[in-house]
């Protein structure tokens, strides 16, 4: 009866795992986490506002890039505020619909990184390898199609993932992670066969990687060949994207491997699981601010205007 009651309503509360932080340093950890979150929000919003307001950045490359800080805000906002609140309040409970929504945003963020970077590599390929045709190819319509496909494909694949998850009956009320994701929601099930969910989850991850990595490999290999043969430095416009891609893949691999280390302390394992949602949203604005000349130039123009106005 209890399991049926749990499954009939979406409004029950779950217990969620927490970081074991000694009481004396609780507020220190909270303040550090809050400062990192505010830094990420400020930097990502700054890049988005620069792209919107500065004529220098009104180019296809930056319209696509706009999606990256937006996605980073989704990623870090889906995780960090909730974890920080639990650290201070010590409540460690989460409303079920909120848990599902958090899990949905987490998976949207992961797929978003891959598809947005793939979209950016297509733009760089066209700009560098087909410079004469670039203006006629990268029309506003083409730009809208590329951005819509990146977000739309991500949304469709994740919706299917959660539609499959919603079919399972729920008997448990404890989330084993410090944040909600699809695997932790599936562990609430009553023990029924989840083969379809597992197969789709693995296929989803594999296909996202194959599509994104395949597009980027094709684009950047072509770019490198063109730049080497023409002794061009245009490849420098791709440095920020490549750094972000390799950083994402490295962190993702590290997180997966961390779950295989049985001797790893529980706190360290929980922190490792959060890394993929925290590091890139904090580091990406710095990478693009330093490695993208037009963004740096636009920022300095705005800064000089503010100083002159004062």
pLDDT tens-digit profile of 101-151? 999 999 999 999 999 999 999 999 999 999 999 999 999 999 999 999 999
Q: Residue 191 and residue 211: Cα distance in Å, rounded?
A: 33
Using only C-alpha atoms, what is the Rg of the chain?
A: 22
Give SS3 for 93.
strand
- Please tell me whether the overall predicted TM-score, pTM, comes out greater than 0.85 for this model: yes
Contacts 24+ apart (CB under 8 A), 100-103: 100/10, 100/162, 100/180, 100/185, 102/78, 102/179, 102/180, 103/162, 103/179, 103/180, 103/181, 103/182, 103/184, 103/185
Asked if 190 contacts 170 with a C-beta cutoff of 8 angstroms, the reply is: yes
What band does 2 get if pLDDT is binned at 50, 70 and 90?
very low
Question: For residue 5, is pLDDT > 50?
Answer: no
């Amino acid at each position: 009866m209890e399991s049926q009651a749990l499954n009939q309503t979406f409004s029950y509360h779950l217990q969620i795992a927490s970081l074991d932080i000694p009481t004396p340093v609780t507020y220190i950890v909270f303040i550090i986490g809050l400062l990192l979150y505010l830094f990420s929000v400020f930097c990502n919003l700054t890049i988005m506002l620069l792209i919107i307001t500065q004529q220098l950045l009104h180019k296809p490359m930056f319209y696509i890039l706009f999606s990256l800080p937006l996605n980073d805000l989704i990623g870090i906002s889906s995780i960090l505020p909730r974890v920080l609140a639990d650290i201070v309040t010590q409540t460690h409970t989460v409303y079920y619909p909120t848990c599902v929504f958090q899990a949905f945003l987490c998976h949207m963020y992961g797929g978003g990184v891959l598809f947005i970077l793939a979209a950016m590599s297509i733009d760089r390929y066209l700009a560098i390898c087909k410079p004469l045709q670039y203006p006629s190819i990268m029309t506003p319509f083409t730009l809208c199609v590329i951005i819509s496909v990146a977000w739309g494909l991500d949304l469709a694949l994740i919706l299917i993932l959660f539609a499959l998850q919603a079919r399972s009956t729920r008997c448990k009320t404890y989330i084993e992670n410090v944040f909600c994701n699809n695997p932790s929601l599936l562990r609430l099930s009553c023990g029924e066969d989840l083969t379809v969910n597992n197969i789709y989850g693995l296929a989803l991850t594999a296909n996202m990687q194959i599509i994104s990595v395949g597009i980027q490999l094709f684009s950047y290999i072509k770019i490198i060949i063109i730049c080497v043969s023409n002794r061009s430095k245009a490849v420098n416009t791709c440095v920020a994207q490549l750094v972000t891609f390799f950083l994402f893949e490295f962190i993702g691999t590290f997180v997966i491997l961390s779950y295989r280390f049985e001797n790893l302390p529980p706190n360290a394992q929980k922190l490792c699981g959060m890394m993929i949602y925290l590091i890139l949203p904090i580091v990406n604005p710095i990478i693009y601010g330093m490695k993208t000349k037009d963004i740096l130039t636009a920022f300095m123009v705005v800064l000089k205007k503010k100083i002159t106005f004062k």
